[in-house]
Chain A
């Protein structure tokens, strides 16, 4: 009897031993595939980041031309700036001032800039007006004019100004365009290229941080001055609208559905629909937004308000689902304790259950907002892919958003210059997102400690 049990035990041990190596192999295989999957995923992310960084980082520096500009009274034949007379009304003074500014704007500021450039060039450098002006960005005349409008007493004097080099000059300096190509394939003429090299040697052209990227609005007439400020503000307005609308509505409906709504066919149907909504492609929300907000509610085209509302619709399901999951995860003991102490259901939910779920709700909100921040497709349908050269002061003014600006720059004709700018814009967008996430993680860890 005993021998048979021993036998079976020995046999079983043998069986186990035989299978052991197979199980070990299985385990090793699984671990190996896991590592491969992670390496692959990280590898692709690394390639993507390396590519964007490689292309984008050079765009954060930009060529500046340091010039001594003389406000020559002969070239600038303009009336003296209006001075406020005693007893003159605001309107009359403003009108006089506008008329004077218009007069100043009509002056040929290029002659002033050309004179300054020729002054900086070596004596007797042979180059015509058009070629020499191609070195400096076309917005230089506005910059110089602004200096003059701010201080009209500068007439006849010389000031030191830093101006942006043109996009083509910047390409030449940075080697974005092949220097060995023949004249016909170059954007700049041979004398202009030679002058740029001279300027670089004598320090007239210097590389500086591209503040224009962050402090300017988009520009087509002066590509080198194109910046992200307008898009950044547009995105901020939209995110504000998303947070203000989606969080209270989303959390409120989640609480109602989870805690108060009776379990019935109807609530089941609602639940299924919310889950489906979360999977609806964003372009569909764009179509809906164009039909409802633009055509029916008559909201202005290209406005962050309409964009924010569309993105709110998109973010709502994410927040509702995450909040419901968080509420479900709260221990029944907590609820029963509160009810047992005589709390009403509302008190139970708002005083005891909800505070515990704050960290999860915050995470859901941030995920939703980050998703909305990167969304492009629905915005194209409500006219936010327009060229806007102004900073939106209110959510009803026309604006673009960061991802749309990336899309627009990607399509710009000046490929040599905007390829780098586009990558730089991607970096700014990523930076914006990482900041948002960092704030969320910081808040969450604080809330978790408190809870």
Chain B
């Protein structure tokens, strides 16, 4: 019995020493967090980086959404803060201020490609050919009818526009923690509201309220990732979901994509700028950590290399829409020049 007690005491002491010993050890693995849209791409590059550079560890990629990633990124400088924040929208000024307040001032923005945002519905359902104004009319809490703002009267898509199918309106959109939501707002809802011809004489605040207030009964905000949106579609086949182009691409057997303004989303139409709902993807590197965490500069350069994010590269087959080589060269020069 006594020996057992001594043994466990020794183990506890050992564990305690092991812990303190670990503090002194410096981190040699790059730590990344942020946007769930960027996550698959960053993970693929991380894996390939680990396989190609035997001297560096494979970086660790967490999620948490663009906003969550920036929050972790701006917690400060040091080993238990992340080195790279993935983002599906540029960093806001308020976030830069939060970063600066915690001593993170050398923030290097890397734009590495584009992603399309698509509307998709059940593969067995009818086809959708949407325009921003139709989406706005379907989801806004108040819509203009005969020059006056009224509570949204539409219950089926064909009431919004006779060209649309006779199907109850139900839309699953990304929650506000997602960068995708911002793009959805900017590229679909706001242009839709403008095209819907709101009554004249509204103040800016009133217009903003009309543009950002959605009907709670038909609009579902999804806080999780796209699989949650897909699950929503499976349980209610009438739902139209907002997805990333790459997610749709991998689930073409269950999803059917809608055209926006008559353009079918694809690698080509987004790259050519014809498909209206697309956005650049970013990651942000903490300059203070370059040279401290091994491989940070090499990882960034590898990410931007032709074989990864370039035309015909590994990320293109995973659904990334490559940016022109000149843009990449500029971004790389800015990163290295700083």
Contact = CB atoms under 8 A, between A and B. Distances in A.
B61 A386 contact: yes
B156 interface: no
B274 interface: no
Interface in A312-355: 350-351, 354-355
Contact of A181 (B12, B29, B54, B253): B253
B215 to A, nearest CB: 28
Interface stretch (A157-165, A259-267, A390-398): A390-398
Contacts of B154: none
Contacts of A389: 43, 46-47, 50, 58
A244 B12 contact: yes
A14 interface: no
Nearest to B226: A413
Contacts of A177: 253
A220 B33 contact: no
A411 B225 contact: yes
Interface string A277-321: 000000000000000001000111110010000000000000000
A221 B49 CA distance: 11
A298 to B, nearest CB: 5
A299 B18 CA distance: 12
A185 B79 contact: no
Interface string A236-264: 00000100110111000000000000000
B31 interface: yes
Best-buried of A106, A138, A177 by chain B (most CB within 10 Å): A138
B127 interface: no
Contact of B1 (A350, A390, A398, A410): A350
A355 B48 CA distance: 54
A160 to B, nearest CB: 23
A300 B79 contact: yes
A432 interface: no
Contacts of A244: 8, 11-12, 15
A413 B11 contact: no
Contacts of B230: 415
A18 B82 CA distance: 78
B123 interface: yes
Contacts of B9: 248
B60 A388 contact: yes
A412 interface: yes
B202 interface: no
A98 B55 contact: yes
Interface in B31-73: 31-33, 39-40, 43-44, 46-48, 50-55, 57-58, 60-63
Interface in B11-36: 11-12, 15, 18-19, 22-23, 25, 27, 29, 31-33
B48 A221 contact: yes
Contact of B58 (A247, A390, A396): A390
Given A221-B44, A350-B2, A386-B61, A248 B31 contact: no
B5 interface: yes
A15 B229 CA distance: 66
A386 B18 CA distance: 24
Chain A contact-residue range equals: 35 or more
B227 A412 contact: yes
B250 interface: yes
A221 B62 contact: no
A386 B253 contact: no
Nearest to A241: B15
A394 B28 CA distance: 13
Contacts of A411: 224-225, 227-228
B102 to A, nearest CB: 12
B43 A387 contact: yes
B167 interface: no
Given A247-B8, A389-B46, A413-B247, A221 B314 contact: yes
B53 A248 contact: no
Contacts of A247: 8
A178 interface: yes
A316 to B, nearest CB: 14
Interface in A395-422: 395-398, 410-416
Contacts of A248: 8-9, 11-12
B251 A413 contact: yes
B318 A221 contact: yes
A184 interface: yes
Contacts of A105: 51-54
Contacts of A220: 40, 43-44, 47
18 contacts: A181-B253, A221-B314, A222-B47, A249-B12, A298-B79, A300-B27, A383-B33, A385-B63, A386-B60, A387-B43, A387-B61, A389-B47, A390-B58, A411-B225, A413-B226, A413-B247, A415-B251, A416-B251
Nearest 8 Cβ contacts at the A-B interface = A386-B62, A220-B43, A221-B44, A387-B61, A396-B22, A248-B8, A398-B60, A387-B43
Given A245-B15, A412-B227, 19 more contacts: A105-B51, A105-B53, A187-B253, A220-B43, A220-B47, A248-B11, A298-B78, A298-B80, A300-B22, A302-B62, A386-B61, A388-B58, A390-B58, A395-B18, A395-B22, A398-B31, A411-B228, A413-B227, A415-B250
